[in-house]
A and B are shown apart, each in its own frame.
Chain A
Amino acid sequence: MALADLVGILGVTHNPLMWSVLQHSVPDDLARVAANFEHLRSVVSDLAPDAIVLVASDHFHMLMMSNMPAFMIGKAPMMRATFPNEVRHFGLSPNQVIGDPALAAHLLGGRGLAPGMDFAFSDEPWLDHSFLVPLLLLTPELEVPVVPIITNCNAPPIPTAARFAELGLHLRAAIDSAASDRRVLLVGSGHLAHELGGPRQFLGTSPDPDFDRKAVSWMADGNLEEAVAATTFDRLTEAGNESYQFLNFITCLAAAGGRAATFAEGTPTRFGALPFFSWEVP
């Protein structure tokens, strides 16, 4: 039986204001960001994935505190992307993203929900900018089917870092055991130190450069243990009240077996340091 193959792991920003600026021009402070995306687009193109498993966090667009799952897997053949308020705020255009229901069902656990993970699922996921922006920048034609893994990083209590690591281990094992001859790319999207709606938003620089430096080194050095131990809710809040989405990169690091990233950078911009990570999967 042919098994699926995890061919690569990437971690990227989804900052919608960054995306919005890049639609018009590439200002000096975003030149490196544009170059990093160009590099990762070529990585994706070379890897030629048949499917992308994308770990990111809905920002109260599809999900609200009326019903807030910790981890949800979307398993529809076609998914709507972006919302009217994101069109208004960021200039995104309504889009459609192809899904991969068979792979999604396998990641959920097949005929029984995966032990220990307790995923929620959606047969009608609707993706916000945290999914659409990375896809538009990595696969501009949106031609590769996507399994969205929607993590709660915005409505506390959020899952602990250890749970995000377990999610990574689960995804790795599940992808490796999928009974289909598919090339699967894992992508995580989140932030380094980042703040929105608090005193340190839009400072023109990072709210916590020390966190950024450590966070990038955990990925560059392959230090999963320290990353998990350090990223408590309170430490992440100290880094900025949107920094919880860094946890999606812990999922990537765990899926990479805790190995060092081959590319790890917090690119300084007017929006703070924007994350770029890439792991080779032997």
Chain B
Amino acid sequence: MSRYMVNKLMWEVDRSNDALALFKADPADFLDSWESLALSPNPPCPAGGSLTGDEREAIEAHDFGSLYAMGANPFLLWQFARSVSVPDETSIERLVDSFREAVEPHGYPDFFT
């Protein structure tokens, strides 16, 4: 588990319109490039980062429930979920419902990094 790296990835995707477009076009390719930028598998990493297999899988699959359960920062997770899904994959109203359904079973996981 590398909560900081998950947060960093979501942050980098959401904050830049260019990064968001690249991620949406090909998440696997984006993650390959992002992970290759990292100088070491753990922080400090000036660029890019490194994810565990589970984290990478959850990010590629838009599995927001698993990311939430792993302790992703809830604010960053919601902004990321919204940016990568709306409006291309779903509407904001449907995302609100499916997101709630996905995170509800996990209660309030620790999201300290």
Contacts and interface: CB of A to CB of B under 8 A. Distances in A.
A235 to B, nearest CB: 12
A128 B10 CA distance: 18
Interface stretch (B23-31, B32-40, B53-61, B75-83): B75-83
Given A85-B15, A197-B68, A66 B74 contact: no
Contacts of B103: 197-199
Among B44, B68, B79, B99, residue most surrounded by chain A Cβ atoms (within 10 Å) = B79
B111 A156 contact: yes
B50 to A, nearest CB: 14
Interface in A49-68: 59-61, 64-66
Contacts of B111: 156, 241
A201 interface: yes
Given A155-B113, A197-B68, A198-B108, A83 B15 contact: yes
A112 interface: no
Contacts of B74: 195-198, 241-242
A248 B16 CA distance: 28
Interface string A63-98: 011100000000000000001110011000000000
B79 A237 contact: no
Interface majority SS (helix, strand, loop, mixed), chain B: helix
Nearest to B101: A199
Among A155, A196, A198, residue most surrounded by chain B Cβ atoms (within 10 Å) = A198
A157 B112 contact: yes
Given A88-B17, A156-B112, A66 B44 contact: yes
A154 interface: yes
Give the interface size class of chain A.
Answer: 20 to 34
A202 interface: yes
B8 A84 contact: no
A241 B8 contact: no
Interface string B65-90: 00010000111111100110000000
Nearest to A242: B75
A197 B100 CA distance: 8
B10 to A, nearest CB: 9
Nearest to B15: A85
Interface string A219-254: 000000000000000000100011000000000000
A89 B95 CA distance: 14
Interface of A: 59-61, 64-66, 83-85, 88-89, 154-157, 195-199, 201-202, 237, 241-242
Given A195-B74, A197-B78, 14 more contacts: A60-B11, A61-B15, A64-B7, A65-B7, A65-B113, A84-B15, A85-B83, A89-B82, A156-B111, A196-B74, A196-B78, A199-B100, A241-B108, A241-B111
Interface of B: 4, 7-8, 11, 14-17, 43-44, 68, 73-79, 82-83, 96, 99-100, 103-104, 107-108, 111-113
28 contacts: A60-B75, A64-B7, A64-B8, A64-B11, A65-B7, A65-B8, A66-B8, A83-B15, A84-B15, A84-B17, A85-B15, A85-B16, A85-B83, A154-B73, A154-B75, A155-B73, A156-B111, A157-B112, A196-B78, A197-B77, A197-B78, A198-B74, A198-B103, A199-B103, A199-B104, A199-B107, A241-B74, A242-B74
